Amino acid sequence: MKIYNTLSGKLEEFKTLRDKEARIYTCGPTVYDYAHIGNFRTFCFEDIFRRYLKYKGYKVIQVMNLTDVDDKTIRRANEEGLSLREYTEKYAKAFFEDCETLNIEKVEYNPRATEHIEEMIELVKTLINKGFAYEKDGSVYFDISAFNEYGKLSKLDRREIKEGVSVDADEYEKDDVRDFVLWKAKKEGEPSWPSPWGEGRPGWHLECSVMAMKYLGETIDLHAGGEDLIFPHHENEIAQSEAATGKPFSNYWLHCKYLIVEGKKMSKSLGNFFTLRDLIKKGYNPRAIRYVLISSHYRKQLNFTLESVKAAEKAIEKVEGFYQAVSQTKNKADYDERIKELIEKYRKDFEEAMDDDLNVSGALGALFEFIGEVNKLYPDSNIPEANRDKVLQFLEKLNSVFAVFDFSTELPDDEILKLIEERNEARKNRNFKRADEIRDMLKEKGIILEDTKDGTRFKRIK
């Protein structure tokens, strides 16, 4: 499996430190508001990567932090007159609900920054003792001129570094490189914790290094996030972690490109700024939203449009309809070796696409080609019963990675079965009015009927 490592700027074979165990850190949300669809593009991409590693037999240990203390969370909590914990708890809860809605798997650890203050203070003390950090007016700053490899991730020109000039803001531009803050001296109206340098709070960049190393060790396999985090956040994580330990912090860095909406940068003033909740309120299927978010290559800009969500709903319907039809086949013909060969071919195509820097669109293409080839052999997907289980298992296996299709096929209850029988009788007796009434009743219950030469089939719609 090859992935594009931002650190080297090359496609590289993914090799973990421990056999078949991947230790991954992904930057989670800053819980000051509802996450928007741009955030969820990154979270869905990271989920696909995690799921594909599991598909390949890896044990995955993933940490996704919650930033619950930084400039943004403090400002918003103060504006609403709430404690920091009270304010951030609301949005942390909303984030996990949204992840569940989008079929994003729960990760092994979701640490909060505020629960790791002691470890953060210890890391700052280590950096001061090793000559990589200095205290000034109750704050502590990382001396970037002392770390010779500063800029290796973001390909920074070291001549741009302003020696001895510090910055207190969490976010700043690449053309304004300064000593970044590790510990911020207390300000009025801000939460604070005791430290050797006086009351204060951690800087944003410090938080992720501490939580990554606490749960995953001093060197991790892979760190991922949105491309907007390359500088300064990930650059600063590398500097403080490697300065403290003398070891590589992460062997691979994966970054997801941002998205635009309807061809323009997402912005509230343009009316094209969407949270997941906004889209669901408008009636869009969350699985179709996930489909759109994963279907473009993660290193290409995604143009998210409402038309693309509607098209995704149709694509999902096609796959689910195929699954339902295959699950209900009554074809008594002999086992067809050609279907087995198609499964083998398209499994290989799926894996080749995913192994090529997580080419999800190619992997989805393999799935749709498989369905098309089966339907060429058996119109209406009426394959031999003898092939059914292997086809269903193949679809389920691929969906363990995509996580966009709903393959639940629970049988209707007795009432629905009786209605189907009654409709068949009505049609036999040419009572088409009653047959149509029953069909409409079943539709209301989420059951669509299909009349084929082998009898009536049903499929559930969500």
Q: What residue numbers does the annotated binding site for ATP cover?
A: 268
The greatest distance separating any two alpha carbons of the chain, rounded to the nearest whole angstrom, comes to 92
* CA-to-CA dists, residue 64 to 38, 59, 104, 232, angstroms: 17, 16, 12, 19
Task: Please report where in the chains the tokens 């932090």 appear, as a residue.
Answer: 65
Q: How far apart are CA 446 and CA 462, in angstroms?
A: 7
- Give 121-138 as a DSSP string: HHHHHHHHHTTSEEEETT
Tell me the H-state helices in 356-408. 360-377, 385-402
Q: Which distant-in-sequence residues (6+ apart) come within 8 Å of 73 by Cβ?
A: 30, 31, 32, 67, 84, 87, 88
Residues within the annotated binding site for Zn(2+)? 27, 208, 233, 237
List, in sequence order, every residue forming a beta bridge with 2; answer none if it has no partner.
13, 356
Binding residues: 27, 208, 233, 237, 268
- The rounded distance, in Å, linking the Cα atoms of 64 and 95 is 12
Token code pair at residue 320: 């689910």
CA distance 204 to 182: 8
Distance CA 142, CA 124 (A): 9
In order of 141, 183, 184, 323, the CA distances from 168 in angstroms are: 9, 9, 7, 55
| Residues present in the chain in total | 462
Beta-carbon contacts of residue 398 (< 8 Å; ≥ 6 apart): 350, 363, 367
Cβ count within 10 A of residue 459: 19
CA distances from 354 to 260, 343, 440 (A): 24, 16, 42
The β-bridge relationship of strands 220-226 and 21-26 is parallel
